[in-house]
Structures are given as structure tokens and as C-alpha cells.
């Protein structure tokens, strides 16, 4: 017999007993049957959740600056704490790190092929792949498996929907995609060569209704048999192999043309790598961006100590 069933029976017995035992049970019954037909199950669910006070946990982790390692440790304590973390705590961590980006990702439009109508909030908890996967995407660089570059913790990242537009073909120009700046790594075995490996990641808004997914599915692009999303574990398409990777992506990243590859999973997470051309000092003087966030950019502006 489950704990909820035992609690329901206890409350029912208490509400129907004598006056000496009718205290707590009668109050519970009055609270639950308030003339609107509410059942005892709602009361019991509140009791179970109350043991793990979500507001208290939010205050605690806010004081810890949403330390992801502490949050991972708490989520491993029990299934209930893991459920609270997945429903509330990871979401709040994402909001604290990238508020504008999360706001954009959780806003839906009713468009598929025509002009966008008025946007409406999608509600908490509605993000492709879940909040833990989005938190990992914000804080973890997946590296580049093809170049033997391992993933690593990335406490500060910059995501831009302007960069995201460079990764969309003309047919998919109506999609909203956030992409990070490339994380530069020296390729193992190349020494002090002329090239670095750039690893980047991103996320689509409403990927299930996106034009990118419609093109992949309509073009019968195969799912990769050996590659999985490093953030949610889902299967992925190779956007490069499907012919949907525009040249503007190479220009945006400063990569050699034809030496860029990226994948998008069925949940809408993007990850990829490229070979970056090193800029000379004269080229760097005219490069775009000074490290500050523009109006349409949002990044992981929180710093977390390992």
C-alpha cells in the first residue's frame, strides 16, 4: 500500500470518528471538502510536497548562487528531491544564468509557415529536452569528439540569436536559434599549428514546430547511428549531411569553409565543431564584438567556482 493511500485512509477515519479523534481529521476534511468538490488527493499531494518545501530550497540555492555541483548532489539524494530539482531548481538556475534567453525559449508563436502572430508564454517547465538538459547546455562545453577534444565545465558563456540566424538556411529563417560563441581548443597532436578547434552549442525554440525539423523530416534525413546529444541523450541529425548548413555559419565562426559540422537532436539541442582560422593582428582590429552582450544576446553571466 502506498504512502498516499495510507494517508488518505487516516484522514478519512479521523474525519468520521468521535469528537476526541476528530481534531486534525475534521480540519483536513473541512479543508478538502470546501463545497467545490475538491478531493483528499489534492490535500495529500500538498502534504507530500510540503516535506520538500520548494520555496526553502529555492532560497538556499539562491544563496549558493545556484551552484550546479551542489544542485547535482541534492538531486541524487532521493527521487523526490530529483523531481523537485527537475521541475523547479534547474529551471531557476537557467533563469538566473540567462534570463532573456529563457524568456525567449519559453515563448511560443502560432506560426509554422507564415508571419508570426502575437507571442504567448509557454508556461514553466516547457522547454525542449527538459530543464536539466538546458542547464547542462548553458554550463558545459561538449568538446569535439572528432578531434579528440574532451568536454569541460564552462561557467561563463555567451549565447546569441544573431549567431543563431547564421546557422539557419533561407528556408528555415523563421526559426529562433541561440548559438554560443565557439570555445577554442588546441587540437591534440597539432602542436602550435595554424588552426584551433572550435566547439559550440545551441538550442532551438519550439523545435517540434520549427521549419528546420520540417526540412529534416521532409527530406528524409537519417538519424545518426553513432552520435547522441551530449545534453539530453537523444538521437541527432547531421545538419551538414542534410545540406542545411549555410556558408554564413563558417563566416560567423571564423572557420574554414567546408570544415564545419553540427548536429541537432530531436529535442532541439545543437552541438558541433569546426576548424578555426587564426586571425592576424590586423584582422583582429576589425573583428566584430567586444565581449559585451547586445540586446538580442544573452549568456551565462553567472560565475560558478569548481
* Residue 161 domain flag: yes
- Which of 65, 97, 129 is the C-terminal boundary of a domain? 97
pLDDT value at position 40?
42
Q: Are residues 196 and 125 in the same domain?
A: yes
- Final residue of a domain: which of 97, 126, 157? 97
Does 190 share its domain with 68? Answer: no
Q: Tell me: do 37 and 176 sit in the same domain.
A: no
Buried b (16+ CB within 10 A) or exposed e, 184-202: ebebeeeeeeebbbbbbbb
Examine the fold and report which residue of 97, 132, 149 is the final residue of a domain before the chain moves on.
97
Tell me whether residue 270 is in a domain.
yes
For residues 298 and 159, is the Cβ–Cβ distance under 8 A?
yes
Task: Please give the Cα distance from 64 to 96 (Å, whole number).
Answer: 12
Say what the pLDDT of residue 260 is.
86
Domain-embedded: residue 306: no
Same domain as 83, residue 125: no
Residues of the chain with pLDDT under 50: 15-48, 50-51, 110-123, 125, 282-295, 298-306
Q: Quick one: 113 and 249 in the same domain?
A: yes
Residues 115 and 160 occupy one common structural domain: yes
The confidence score (pLDDT) of residue 127 equals 87
Euclidean distance between the first and the last CA atom of the chain, given in angstroms as a whole number:
43
Task: Look at residue 149 and tell me if it is in a domain.
Answer: yes
Asked whether residue 102 is domain-assigned, the answer is no
Residue 85 and residue 53 in one domain: yes
62 and 131 in a single domain? The answer is no
User: Domain range for residue 283?
Assistant: 109-300
In a domain, 104, yes or no: no
**Residues 24 and 48 both lie in one domain:** yes
Please report the pLDDT score of residue 193 as a whole number: 56
> Locate cell 539562491: which residue?
62
Instruction: Tell whether 192 and 63 lie within a shared domain.
Output: no
Share in percent of the chain as helix, strand, coil (round to 5): 40, 20, 35
Decide if 268 is inside a domain: yes
Q: Is 305 domain-assigned?
A: no
How many domains does one find in the chain? 2
Q: Which residues contact 217 (CB under 8 A, 6 or more apart)?
A: none
Query: Are residues 127 and 9 both part of a single domain?
Result: no
Same domain, 168 and 285: yes
Write out pLDDT tens, residues 65-100: 999 999 999 999 999 899 999 999 999 999 999 999
- pLDDT tens, position by position, 252-305: 887 777 778 899 999 999 999 988 876 555 444 443 433 333 335 544 433 333
Amino acid at each position: 500500500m502506498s504512502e498516499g493511500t495510507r494517508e488518505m485512509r487516516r484522514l478519512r477515519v479521523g474525519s468520521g470518528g468521535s469528537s476526541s479523534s476528530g481534531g486534525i481529521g475534521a480540519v483536513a476534511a473541512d479543508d478538502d471538502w470546501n463545497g467545490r468538490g475538491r478531493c483528499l488527493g489534492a490535500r495529500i499531494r500538498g502534504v507530500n510536497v510540503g516535506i520538500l518545501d520548494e520555496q526553502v530550497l529555492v532560497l538556499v540555492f539562491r544563496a549558493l548562487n545556484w551552484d550546479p555541483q551542489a544542485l547535482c548532489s541534492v538531486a541524487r539524494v532521493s527521487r523526490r528531491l530529483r523531481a523537485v530539482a527537475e521541475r523547479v531548481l534547474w529551471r531557476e538556475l537557467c533563469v538566473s544564468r540567462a534570463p532573456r534567453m529563457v524568456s525567449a525559449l519559453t515563448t511560443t508563436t502560432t506560426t509554422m509557415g507564415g508571419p508570426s502572430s502575437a507571442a504567448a508564454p509557454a508556461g514553466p517547465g516547457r522547454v525542449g529536452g527538459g530543464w536539466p538538459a538546458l542547464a547542462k547546455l548553458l554550463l558545459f562545453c561538449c568538446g569535439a569528439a572528432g578531434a579528440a577534444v574532451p568536454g569541460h565545465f564552462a561557467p561563463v558563456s555567451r549565447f546569441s540569436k544573431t549567431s543563431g540566424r547564421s546557422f539557419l538556411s533561407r528556408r528555415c529563417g523563421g526559426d529562433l536559434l541561440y548559438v554560443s560563441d565557439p570555445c577554442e581548443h588546441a587540437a591534440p597532436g597539432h602542436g602550435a599549428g595554424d588552426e584551433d578547434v572550435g566547439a559550440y552549442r545551441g538550442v532551438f525554440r519550439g523545435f517540434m514546430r520549427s521549419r528546420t525539423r520540417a526540412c529534416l523530416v521532409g527530406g528524409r534525413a537519417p538519424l545518426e547511428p553513432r552520435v547522441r546529444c551530449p545534453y539530453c541523450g537523444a538521437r541527432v541529425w547531421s545538419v551538414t549531411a542534410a545540406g542545411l548548413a549555410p556558408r554564413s555559419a563558417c563566416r560567423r565562426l571564423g572557420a574554414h569553409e567546408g570544415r564545419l559540422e553540427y548536429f541537432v537532436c530531436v529535442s532541439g539541442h545543437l552541438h558541433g565543431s569546426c576548424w578555426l582560422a587564426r586571425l592576424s593582428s590586423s584582422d583582429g582590429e576589425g573583428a566584430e564584438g567586444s565581449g559585451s552582450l547586445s540586446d538580442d544576446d544573452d549568456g551565462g553571466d553567472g560565475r560558478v567556482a569548481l
